[in-house]
Amino acid sequence: MSEKSNLHGGKMLTGNFAKQFVKQKYSEIAVQSKQKNETSCCGVGGCDTVDYAVFSEDYSKLKGYVPDADLGLGCGIPTQFANIQKGQSVVDLGSGAGNDAFVARAIVEETGHVIGIDMTDDMISRARGNCERLGFANVEFRKGEIENLPVDSNSVDVVLSNCVLNLVPDKKKAFSEIFRILKPGGHFCISDVVTSSAIPESLKKDAEMYAGCVSGAITKKEYIDIINEFGFEQMTLHKEKNIDIPREIMEKYISGDELESFTKSSPVLSITVFARKPGVKNA
Protein backbone atom coordinates (compact mmCIF):
# COMPACT_ATOMS: atom_id res chain seq x y z
CA MET A 1 0.00 0.00 0.00
CA SER A 2 1.39 3.38 -0.92
CA GLU A 3 0.37 6.93 -1.63
CA LYS A 4 1.60 9.88 -3.67
CA SER A 5 0.74 13.56 -3.96
CA ASN A 6 -0.90 14.89 -7.10
CA LEU A 7 -0.22 18.26 -8.70
CA HIS A 8 -2.84 19.89 -6.48
CA GLY A 9 -1.39 18.56 -3.25
CA GLY A 10 -3.91 15.74 -2.74
CA LYS A 11 -3.19 12.07 -2.18
CA MET A 12 -3.28 9.84 -5.24
CA LEU A 13 -4.63 6.32 -5.28
CA THR A 14 -2.13 3.52 -5.61
CA GLY A 15 -2.57 -0.15 -4.75
CA ASN A 16 -4.86 -0.83 -1.79
CA PHE A 17 -4.60 2.74 -0.51
CA ALA A 18 -8.12 3.61 -1.73
CA LYS A 19 -9.86 1.22 0.66
CA GLN A 20 -7.67 2.19 3.61
CA PHE A 21 -8.25 5.86 2.92
CA VAL A 22 -12.03 5.33 2.86
CA LYS A 23 -11.85 3.49 6.20
CA GLN A 24 -9.88 6.34 7.72
CA LYS A 25 -12.20 9.07 6.47
CA TYR A 26 -15.41 7.30 7.43
CA SER A 27 -14.01 6.44 10.84
CA GLU A 28 -13.62 10.18 11.38
CA ILE A 29 -17.11 10.89 10.05
CA ALA A 30 -18.58 8.19 12.32
CA VAL A 31 -17.86 10.22 15.45
CA GLN A 32 -19.34 13.44 14.04
CA SER A 33 -22.96 14.59 13.91
CA LYS A 34 -24.91 15.13 10.71
CA GLN A 35 -24.94 18.84 11.50
CA LYS A 36 -21.16 18.96 11.80
CA ASN A 37 -20.71 17.03 8.55
CA GLU A 38 -22.91 19.55 6.74
CA THR A 39 -21.89 22.80 8.43
CA SER A 40 -18.15 22.18 8.32
CA CYS A 41 -18.65 23.00 4.60
CA CYS A 42 -16.54 20.06 3.46
CA GLY A 43 -17.11 17.28 5.95
CA VAL A 44 -14.00 16.02 7.68
CA GLY A 45 -10.78 17.97 7.52
CA GLY A 46 -12.05 21.47 6.78
CA CYS A 47 -12.59 23.29 3.53
CA ASP A 48 -9.53 21.98 1.74
CA THR A 49 -11.26 18.63 1.32
CA VAL A 50 -14.47 17.20 -0.10
CA ASP A 51 -18.03 17.85 1.06
CA TYR A 52 -19.07 14.35 2.13
CA ALA A 53 -22.69 15.47 2.64
CA VAL A 54 -23.19 17.16 -0.74
CA PHE A 55 -25.44 14.34 -2.04
CA SER A 56 -27.60 13.85 1.05
CA GLU A 57 -31.40 13.54 1.10
CA ASP A 58 -33.93 14.48 3.80
CA TYR A 59 -34.95 11.43 5.84
CA SER A 60 -36.50 13.33 8.73
CA LYS A 61 -40.15 12.60 7.92
CA LEU A 62 -39.74 8.88 7.22
CA LYS A 63 -41.19 6.27 9.55
CA GLY A 64 -38.36 4.65 11.50
CA TYR A 65 -36.05 7.64 11.16
CA VAL A 66 -33.40 7.79 13.89
CA PRO A 67 -31.64 11.18 13.97
CA ASP A 68 -28.53 9.78 15.68
CA ALA A 69 -28.13 7.31 12.79
CA ASP A 70 -28.29 9.98 10.07
CA LEU A 71 -24.85 11.28 9.15
CA GLY A 72 -26.04 12.89 5.92
CA LEU A 73 -24.03 10.54 3.71
CA GLY A 74 -26.63 9.15 1.32
CA CYS A 75 -27.39 10.14 -2.27
CA GLY A 76 -30.96 8.86 -2.39
CA ILE A 77 -33.59 7.03 -0.35
CA PRO A 78 -33.47 3.43 -1.61
CA THR A 79 -36.25 2.24 0.72
CA GLN A 80 -38.60 4.54 -1.21
CA PHE A 81 -38.54 2.23 -4.24
CA ALA A 82 -37.44 -1.07 -2.68
CA ASN A 83 -40.91 -2.62 -2.32
CA ILE A 84 -40.00 -4.01 1.10
CA GLN A 85 -42.75 -6.07 2.74
CA LYS A 86 -43.59 -6.92 6.32
CA GLY A 87 -41.66 -9.96 7.55
CA GLN A 88 -38.91 -9.82 4.93
CA SER A 89 -35.15 -10.11 5.41
CA VAL A 90 -33.17 -7.05 4.33
CA VAL A 91 -29.43 -6.40 4.05
CA ASP A 92 -28.09 -2.85 3.94
CA LEU A 93 -24.62 -2.61 2.37
CA GLY A 94 -22.41 0.10 3.84
CA SER A 95 -24.87 0.67 6.66
CA GLY A 96 -22.92 3.40 8.46
CA ALA A 97 -24.61 4.48 11.68
CA GLY A 98 -27.78 2.57 10.70
CA ASN A 99 -29.91 5.18 8.93
CA ASP A 100 -31.36 3.03 6.12
CA ALA A 101 -31.37 -0.11 8.26
CA PHE A 102 -33.65 1.50 10.83
CA VAL A 103 -36.01 2.82 8.16
CA ALA A 104 -36.13 -0.69 6.65
CA ARG A 105 -36.81 -2.12 10.11
CA ALA A 106 -39.91 0.04 10.44
CA ILE A 107 -41.22 -1.47 7.20
CA VAL A 108 -40.47 -5.16 7.91
CA GLU A 109 -41.76 -4.67 11.48
CA GLU A 110 -41.15 -7.17 14.28
CA THR A 111 -41.45 -10.27 12.09
CA GLY A 112 -38.74 -9.17 9.66
CA HIS A 113 -34.99 -9.01 10.04
CA VAL A 114 -32.44 -6.39 8.99
CA ILE A 115 -28.67 -6.83 8.71
CA GLY A 116 -26.35 -3.88 8.23
CA ILE A 117 -22.86 -4.50 6.80
CA ASP A 118 -19.99 -2.03 7.14
CA MET A 119 -16.21 -2.35 6.99
CA THR A 120 -15.49 0.49 9.44
CA ASP A 121 -15.21 -0.37 13.14
CA ASP A 122 -16.36 3.06 14.30
CA MET A 123 -19.47 2.92 12.11
CA ILE A 124 -20.35 -0.57 13.37
CA SER A 125 -19.87 0.60 16.96
CA ARG A 126 -22.10 3.63 16.48
CA ALA A 127 -24.81 1.60 14.72
CA ARG A 128 -24.80 -1.09 17.42
CA GLY A 129 -24.99 1.60 20.08
CA ASN A 130 -28.04 3.11 18.40
CA CYS A 131 -29.63 -0.32 18.07
CA GLU A 132 -29.06 -1.23 21.71
CA ARG A 133 -30.39 2.11 22.91
CA LEU A 134 -33.56 1.62 20.86
CA GLY A 135 -33.98 -1.99 21.95
CA PHE A 136 -34.32 -3.42 18.42
CA ALA A 137 -34.02 -7.21 18.60
CA ASN A 138 -34.42 -7.78 14.85
CA VAL A 139 -31.62 -5.51 13.61
CA GLU A 140 -27.96 -6.49 13.67
CA PHE A 141 -24.76 -4.99 12.33
CA ARG A 142 -21.90 -7.11 11.01
CA LYS A 143 -18.41 -6.03 10.08
CA GLY A 144 -17.52 -7.03 6.54
CA GLU A 145 -16.58 -5.92 3.05
CA ILE A 146 -19.05 -5.79 0.19
CA GLU A 147 -16.77 -7.89 -2.01
CA ASN A 148 -16.97 -10.71 0.58
CA LEU A 149 -20.25 -10.41 2.45
CA PRO A 150 -20.71 -12.24 5.78
CA VAL A 151 -24.18 -13.39 4.68
CA ASP A 152 -25.39 -16.84 3.57
CA SER A 153 -26.17 -17.50 -0.09
CA ASN A 154 -29.81 -17.34 -1.22
CA SER A 155 -30.92 -16.01 2.16
CA VAL A 156 -32.11 -12.42 1.66
CA ASP A 157 -35.30 -10.91 0.24
CA VAL A 158 -34.01 -7.38 -0.36
CA VAL A 159 -30.58 -5.74 -0.63
CA LEU A 160 -30.25 -1.99 -0.07
CA SER A 161 -27.29 0.31 -0.45
CA ASN A 162 -26.99 4.08 -0.33
CA CYS A 163 -24.04 5.90 -1.88
CA VAL A 164 -21.56 3.12 -1.10
CA LEU A 165 -20.87 0.91 -4.14
CA ASN A 166 -19.03 3.81 -5.79
CA LEU A 167 -16.47 3.34 -2.99
CA VAL A 168 -15.92 -0.35 -3.81
CA PRO A 169 -12.89 -0.86 -6.09
CA ASP A 170 -14.23 -4.11 -7.60
CA LYS A 171 -17.81 -3.34 -8.55
CA LYS A 172 -18.28 -6.58 -10.46
CA LYS A 173 -17.40 -8.53 -7.35
CA ALA A 174 -19.84 -6.40 -5.36
CA PHE A 175 -22.73 -7.21 -7.70
CA SER A 176 -21.66 -10.84 -7.75
CA GLU A 177 -22.04 -10.91 -3.97
CA ILE A 178 -25.43 -9.18 -4.14
CA PHE A 179 -26.58 -11.84 -6.60
CA ARG A 180 -25.23 -14.61 -4.36
CA ILE A 181 -26.99 -13.57 -1.14
CA LEU A 182 -30.37 -12.78 -2.70
CA LYS A 183 -33.02 -15.48 -2.70
CA PRO A 184 -34.32 -16.52 -6.12
CA GLY A 185 -36.84 -13.81 -6.97
CA GLY A 186 -35.28 -11.43 -4.44
CA HIS A 187 -34.29 -7.93 -5.49
CA PHE A 188 -32.05 -4.97 -4.75
CA CYS A 189 -32.65 -1.23 -4.66
CA ILE A 190 -29.51 0.86 -4.69
CA SER A 191 -28.87 4.60 -4.64
CA ASP A 192 -25.43 5.42 -5.96
CA VAL A 193 -23.22 7.96 -7.70
CA VAL A 194 -22.37 7.48 -11.37
CA THR A 195 -21.15 9.73 -14.15
CA SER A 196 -22.61 10.53 -17.54
CA SER A 197 -19.14 10.57 -19.10
CA ALA A 198 -15.54 9.87 -18.20
CA ILE A 199 -14.03 12.13 -15.57
CA PRO A 200 -10.50 13.61 -15.79
CA GLU A 201 -7.67 11.24 -14.85
CA SER A 202 -6.28 13.69 -12.28
CA LEU A 203 -9.63 13.65 -10.50
CA LYS A 204 -10.12 9.90 -10.93
CA LYS A 205 -6.87 9.16 -9.12
CA ASP A 206 -7.37 11.48 -6.17
CA ALA A 207 -8.03 9.80 -2.84
CA GLU A 208 -10.06 12.64 -1.32
CA MET A 209 -12.43 12.67 -4.28
CA TYR A 210 -12.60 8.87 -4.15
CA ALA A 211 -13.70 8.92 -0.52
CA GLY A 212 -16.06 11.76 -1.41
CA CYS A 213 -17.92 9.42 -3.79
CA VAL A 214 -16.86 11.11 -7.02
CA SER A 215 -13.68 9.62 -8.46
CA GLY A 216 -14.67 6.03 -7.65
CA ALA A 217 -17.87 6.38 -9.68
CA ILE A 218 -18.13 4.65 -13.05
CA THR A 219 -20.33 5.76 -15.93
CA LYS A 220 -24.04 5.01 -15.82
CA LYS A 221 -23.64 2.78 -18.87
CA GLU A 222 -20.88 0.74 -17.22
CA TYR A 223 -22.98 0.43 -14.07
CA ILE A 224 -26.03 -0.85 -15.95
CA ASP A 225 -23.88 -3.18 -18.05
CA ILE A 226 -22.56 -4.84 -14.87
CA ILE A 227 -26.09 -5.36 -13.55
CA ASN A 228 -27.11 -6.97 -16.85
CA GLU A 229 -23.94 -9.05 -16.97
CA PHE A 230 -24.89 -10.88 -13.78
CA GLY A 231 -28.33 -11.74 -15.09
CA PHE A 232 -30.51 -9.48 -12.99
CA GLU A 233 -33.98 -8.88 -14.42
CA GLN A 234 -36.65 -6.16 -14.39
CA MET A 235 -34.05 -3.45 -13.99
CA THR A 236 -35.69 -0.09 -13.41
CA LEU A 237 -34.05 3.31 -13.02
CA HIS A 238 -36.38 4.95 -10.54
CA LYS A 239 -34.60 8.24 -9.99
CA GLU A 240 -31.78 10.22 -11.56
CA LYS A 241 -30.56 13.71 -10.76
CA ASN A 242 -27.55 15.85 -11.53
CA ILE A 243 -25.18 16.63 -8.67
CA ASP A 244 -23.46 20.00 -8.77
CA ILE A 245 -20.03 19.77 -7.18
CA PRO A 246 -19.07 23.27 -5.98
CA ARG A 247 -16.49 24.87 -8.26
CA GLU A 248 -14.31 25.88 -5.31
CA ILE A 249 -13.92 22.21 -4.43
CA MET A 250 -13.20 21.11 -8.00
CA GLU A 251 -10.52 23.80 -8.41
CA LYS A 252 -8.41 21.92 -5.88
CA TYR A 253 -8.22 18.86 -8.15
CA ILE A 254 -8.49 19.99 -11.77
CA SER A 255 -7.89 23.26 -13.57
CA GLY A 256 -7.90 24.96 -16.95
CA ASP A 257 -9.84 23.44 -19.82
CA GLU A 258 -10.59 20.25 -17.85
CA LEU A 259 -12.26 22.28 -15.10
CA GLU A 260 -14.33 24.31 -17.56
CA SER A 261 -15.44 21.17 -19.38
CA PHE A 262 -16.28 19.38 -16.11
CA THR A 263 -18.31 22.20 -14.58
CA LYS A 264 -20.13 22.88 -17.84
CA SER A 265 -21.18 19.28 -18.45
CA SER A 266 -22.10 18.44 -14.80
CA PRO A 267 -21.33 14.75 -15.36
CA VAL A 268 -21.95 13.55 -11.79
CA LEU A 269 -25.33 11.88 -11.20
CA SER A 270 -27.11 10.16 -8.36
CA ILE A 271 -29.33 7.29 -9.41
CA THR A 272 -31.66 4.86 -7.67
CA VAL A 273 -31.86 1.53 -9.48
CA PHE A 274 -33.95 -1.59 -8.85
CA ALA A 275 -33.40 -5.11 -10.25
CA ARG A 276 -34.46 -8.65 -9.43
CA LYS A 277 -32.61 -11.96 -9.24
CA PRO A 278 -34.26 -14.53 -11.55
CA GLY A 279 -36.32 -17.29 -10.00
CA VAL A 280 -39.43 -17.79 -7.96
CA LYS A 281 -39.20 -16.72 -4.37
CA ASN A 282 -40.32 -19.27 -1.79
CA ALA A 283 -43.43 -18.37 0.16
Domains (range + CATH), the chain? 24-276 (3.40.50.150)
Q: Can you give the pLDDT at residue 71?
A: 86
The mean pLDDT of 15-32, rounded to a whole number, is: 62
> Per-residue confidence at 278, pLDDT binned at 50, 70, 90?
very high
The string of DSSP codes covering the chain is: -EEEE-TTSPEEEETTHHHHHHHHHHHHHHTS-HHHHHHTSSSTT-TTS--TTTT----TTSTT--GGG--S--SS-GGGTS---TT-EEEEET-TTSHHHHHHHHHH-TTSEEEEEES-HHHHHHHHHHHHHHT-SSEEEEE-BTTB-SS-TT-EEEEEEES-GGG-S-HHHHHHHHHHHEEEEEEEEEEEEEESSPPPHHHHTBHHHHHTTSTTPPBHHHHHHHHHHTT-EEEEEEEEEE----HHHHTTT--HHHHHHHHHH--EEEEEEEEE-SSPPP-
Q: Can you give the pLDDT at residue 72?
A: 81
The mean pLDDT of 221-231, rounded to a whole number, is: 95
Higher model confidence: residue 251 or residue 206? 251
